[in-house]
A and B are shown apart, each in its own frame.
Chain A
């Protein structure tokens, strides 16, 4: 069986000019990212803000055109699809967005919003089937079917995110990319949304690419984890119990909050800041902040290398 989703050497480079005569600078938002996803699994992508998580999500769905690399979805090379084919293919790969507040057109009722996917993909429904579908979708995401006639401004953030999920799942996609779906919600609502996503994944056999900066949530929710730092994948964990080997992953794990004071451990805070992503030189991007950095780290970029059991790490001095 071919891989469900295969991302190979995907990069997105942005160039910008400072002023009229300034020298052009460039940065890689996503740099040489490769990974595979198996059907039915939940893969998490973690990293600080600005590390390229969201760009990666949009590159995979071809909402942004990559600078180089390839994305294969169910055996199809996405970047070779023509606009018309791509539009049809989008029905099978959907996304839930970070900001539920602006994810629905303010002029659309809930019913219009959840029916729009069918309208766009040219699925015609009788009016009876339509109202069945609306209440079916709203019930599926835990909303009262009576909200169908509401406008977005009458709904809470959590309700809007549920509608975002209903819209994404309306066409029964195989892949769902979740771009920080809980980041702008209250903690109590976050738990509800995560519970809903878990239930839907089991019921519909969905494959999730779950993007988050919340490591605890990713550990709870995902089967595999990719850790990103400044556009690169620095470590791929085959399961959430695998011990972290990259120094960056270790500091990330250290930074998660441990509610039980007896379990609190000594934390080594990271020195320095994330370097400017513009015109990164050779060497490991993390070298300036890494306690283990050696001369080699500053001149030679470490590549992601498999270290057995599906684990891969990009470090010259892994644990």
Chain B
């Protein structure tokens, strides 16, 4: 299974778009992982004498109203955005796969109950659900993660269930049942391994959406709390001096846009490389 996924991921890099988007994501990942050590300036140190400085040397992206280096904060913000989105989506994916697999395999009343609740969450826009949840729990990073996880749960549950329902009809499942296999064996050795590839790709695409949702919540002041840098919060504070120091809002916005586009392009490349377009249809 790993060999297959690796060869598929490897193939995704062979097209120019896949190479550029994948390369950008890799660089962003390195920046996010090493941000505390490689940022040119400390992200929390204020330098009021130098506030709202235009991009130039030594502040390549300028400074904000407190004189903090925008480049450093954008780099550190990658750490916040990516970790929040990836953690939330990872959690959502695991729960969604478990729910979807159980619903698809056991069927009946359980399936109907799960799918009704899941479809209910899907009938509202993501942002509305996220805002509602954060309003209930209170702002902060962990509630942002929870909100993102719930907002995308429906997608993973539906995709997994649809595939399990289809796979369940294959002869090899019946043959394995006839060998005396338990439901746990069937699910863990046959159904889930055969259903996981499209879910991972959708998960990867959802990380891009999650970044937008995280930035939106941050923009509303419901995400990461100051002074932790996050792209959404930076843009929010940038609105105050939109005409005085536009770089404060432009650079984080640009990075959000480029990152989400890169993730989508790479996701497309992955879909093509793993040849799973057919299986993603209708979900």
Interchain CB contact under 8 A, A87 and B181 = yes
Interchain CB contact under 8 A, B170 and A102 = yes
Interchain CB contact under 8 A, B1 and A116 = no
Interchain CB contact under 8 A, A116 and B179 = yes
Q: List 10 A-B contacts (CB under 8 A).
A: A87-B180, A88-B180, A91-B180, A95-B175, A97-B171, A98-B171, A102-B171, A107-B4, A164-B175, A167-B175
Interchain CB contact under 8 A, A116 and B194 = no
Q: Determine the chain B residues whose CB is within 8 A of the CB of A102 once the complex forms.
A: 170-172
Q: Determine the chain B residues whose CB is within 8 A of the CB of A104 once the complex forms.
A: 172, 175
Closest 7 CB pairs of A and B: A90-B180, A87-B180, A102-B171, A103-B171, A120-B181, A105-B172, A120-B179
Q: Determine the chain B residues whose CB is within 8 A of the CB of A116 once the complex forms.
A: 176, 179
Interchain CB contact under 8 A, B194 and A106 = yes
Interchain CB contact under 8 A, A97 and B193 = no
A226 to B177, CA, bound (A): 27
A94 to B175, CA, bound (A): 9
Chain B stretch 182-211: residues in CB contact (< 8 A) with chain A: 182, 185, 189-190, 193-194
Interchain CB contact under 8 A, B172 and A117 = no
- State whether the Cβ of B123 lies closer than 8 Å to any Cβ in chain A: no
Interchain CB contact under 8 A, B179 and A61 = no
Per DSSP, are chain B's interface residues mostly helix, strand or loop, or mixed? helix
A117 to B265, CA, bound (A): 43
- State whether the Cβ of A99 lies closer than 8 Å to any Cβ in chain B: yes
Contact of B178 among A63, A88, A107 (CB under 8 A): A63
Write the chain A residue with the least CB distance to B185.
Answer: A120
Interchain CB contact under 8 A, A103 and B179 = no
Write the chain B residue with the least CB distance to A58.
Answer: B174
B275–chain A nearest beta-carbon distance, Å: 13
Interchain CB contact under 8 A, A121 and B179 = yes
A120 to B177, CA, bound (A): 10
Q: Determine the chain A residues whose CB is within 8 A of the CB of B185 once the complex forms.
A: 120
Q: Determine the chain A residues whose CB is within 8 A of the CB of B4 once the complex forms.
A: 107
A87–chain B nearest beta-carbon distance, Å: 4
A63–chain B nearest beta-carbon distance, Å: 6
A179–chain B nearest beta-carbon distance, Å: 10
Q: How large is the interface on B (under 10, 10 to 19, 20 to 34, 35 or more residues)?
A: 10 to 19
B95–chain A nearest beta-carbon distance, Å: 24
Chain B stretch 157-183: residues in CB contact (< 8 A) with chain A: 170-172, 174-182
| CB 8 Å contact bits of B133-173 with A (1 = contact, 0 = none) | 00000000000000000000000000000000000001110
Q: Determine the chain B residues whose CB is within 8 A of the CB of A97 once the complex forms.
A: 171, 174-175
Interchain CB contact under 8 A, B175 and A90 = no
B202–chain A nearest beta-carbon distance, Å: 20
Q: Determine the chain A residues whose CB is within 8 A of the CB of B170 once the complex forms.
A: 102
Interchain CB contact under 8 A, B1 and A121 = no
| CB 8 Å contact bits of A104-140 with B (1 = contact, 0 = none) | 1111000000001100110000000000000000000
| CB 8 Å contact bits of A69-96 with B (1 = contact, 0 = none) | 0000000000000000011111100110
Q: Determine the chain A residues whose CB is within 8 A of the CB of B174 once the complex forms.
A: 63, 97
Q: Determine the chain B residues whose CB is within 8 A of the CB of A98 once the complex forms.
A: 171
Write the chain A residue with the least CB distance to B182.
Answer: A87
Q: Determine the chain A residues whose CB is within 8 A of the CB of B1 once the complex forms.
A: 107
* A99 and B176 contact, Cβ closer than 8 Å, known pairs A105-B194, A107-B194: no
Q: Determine the chain B residues whose CB is within 8 A of the CB of A171 once the complex forms.
A: 179
Q: Determine the chain A residues whose CB is within 8 A of the CB of B193 once the complex forms.
A: 107
A105 to B182, CA, bound (A): 16
Q: Which of B175, B185, B190 has its CB near the most chain A CB atoms (within 10 A)?
A: B175
A86 to B1, CA, bound (A): 31
A91 to B181, CA, bound (A): 10
Interchain CB contact under 8 A, B194 and A117 = no
A164 to B176, CA, bound (A): 11
Write the chain B residue with the least CB distance to A164.
Answer: B175
Q: Determine the chain A residues whose CB is within 8 A of the CB of B175 once the complex forms.
A: 95, 97, 103-104, 164, 167
Q: Determine the chain A residues whose CB is within 8 A of the CB of B194 once the complex forms.
A: 105-107
A71 to B170, CA, bound (A): 26
A290 to B176, CA, bound (A): 42
Interchain CB contact under 8 A, A90 and B190 = no
Q: Determine the chain A residues whose CB is within 8 A of the CB of B189 once the complex forms.
A: 105
Write the chain A residue with the least CB distance to B170.
Answer: A102
Q: Which of B176, B180, B185, B193 has its CB near the most chain A CB atoms (within 10 A)?
A: B180
Contact of A99 among B171, B180, B190 (CB under 8 A): B171
